[in-house]
Amino acid sequence: MIDRKKRARLALDGLSIGDAFGQQFFHPGVVEMATDENLPTPPWNYTDDTEMAVCVLQELERCGEIQQDCLATRFAERHASDPNRGYGAGARSLLYEIAAGGDWRIASRELFGGSGSYGNGAAMRVAPLGAWFSDDIDKLIEQSELSATVTHAHPEGVAGAIAVALAAAWAWRRNFTETPASPTELIPWVVSHLGPSEVRRGLEWASTYELDTWAFTVASQVGSGIQISAQDTVPFCLWLAAANLDDYKEAMWTAARVGGDIDTNCAIVGGIVALNVGTDGIPETWRLCREPLSM
């Protein structure tokens, strides 16, 4: 249990620092001025990506698995305590309804005209869960779906969460084999555990690009989160994580330069890459720039 907690908190660290770093690029002047020698001015405030990831980890630390009613309550209470963290309109509506006593099962399914959300929100928060269950892939898939459907009833939203959790698990497991797997194996391994979906098709497409391809080229073909959907976000993020698996800083800078849903892309990629590079692979100056985590 201690090891599970340690690796899940490592994923949260990578996710939250990435989220906070990426969020800075929505501030005026940062895109033009920021460099590795001229970092955005701290503190770097994090967004709903981190807020909801904290809830997922707290639930795992409380009982070792996802209890959906409890997770829904955590999401709603954390949102109510600090609603100005960049929550999307759909998430805000859902969380207000849960806080007012509504049933998340109904409210989640009724979003977006009854289709449920296929946004990237379930994917952005799930890396700690992937780390937690990295030694039990069947359980990881089951728990990823449970964590996702509290807010994302659409199958694509669920598929995005499962894919990111699998990638996080792969990154952690990679360092405990006699010969670490090549980064080129990340996406095919994830795809091998996914059912049919647009997310899977996007990942198959992303996997056709060599890892030294210009990131802008890949993003222009598979998306970079501009549509705020799992289908438009997860394939590029997993490709970017594989392309920069040993370099947390370069992964973050590349995600920031490409654009799109920058904070979420950095959160997803950061949570995965952190599990490969470890605590020492995340710059201490960046950790100090991120506002302190509220756990």
Which tens digit of pLDDT belongs to each residue from 202-237?
999 999 999 999 999 999 999 999 999 999 999 999
The predicted pLDDT at position 85 comes to: 97
Distance CA 266, CA 240 (A): 10
Distance CA 214, CA 181 (A): 23
Of 103, 158, 163, give the one whose Cα is nearest residue 137: 163
The predicted pLDDT at position 1 comes to: 56
Distance CA 267, CA 50 (A): 8
290 — phi, psi (to 5°)?
-65, 135
The predicted pLDDT at position 2 comes to: 63
How many angstroms separate the Cα of 92 from the Cα of each of 86, 201, 231, 258?
9, 30, 21, 27
The predicted pLDDT at position 211 comes to: 98
Helix (H) or strand (E) holding 280: none
Other CB atoms closer than 10 Å to residue 190's CB: what's the count?
25
Q: What share of the chain is helix, strand, coil (3-state, %, to 5)?
A: 70, 0, 30
The predicted pLDDT at position 198 comes to: 98
**Residue 156: CA atoms inside 13 Å, Cβ hemisphere, count?**
20
The predicted pLDDT at position 46 comes to: 98
Distance CA 36, CA 25 (A): 14
Which amino acid appears at position 178 of this protein?
A: E
**Residue 137: CA atoms inside 13 Å, Cβ hemisphere, count?**
14
The predicted pLDDT at position 67 comes to: 98
Q: Buried b / exposed e across 24-34, counting CB within 10 Å, b at 16+?
A: bbeeeebeeeb
The predicted pLDDT at position 69 comes to: 98
Q: CATH number for 2-289: choose from 3.40.50.620, 1.10.4080.10, 3.30.110.30, 3.40.50.880.
A: 1.10.4080.10
Q: What is the pLDDT along the chain (295 residues), one digit of tens a residue?
A: 569 999 999 999 999 999 999 999 999 999 999 999 999 999 999 999 999 999 999 999 999 999 999 999 999 999 999 999 999 999 999 999 999 999 999 999 999 999 999 999 999 999 999 999 999 999 999 999 999 999 999 999 999 999 999 999 999 999 888 889 999 999 999 999 999 999 999 999 999 999 999 999 999 999 999 999 999 999 999 999 999 999 999 999 999 999 999 999 999 999 999 999 999 999 999 999 999 999 8
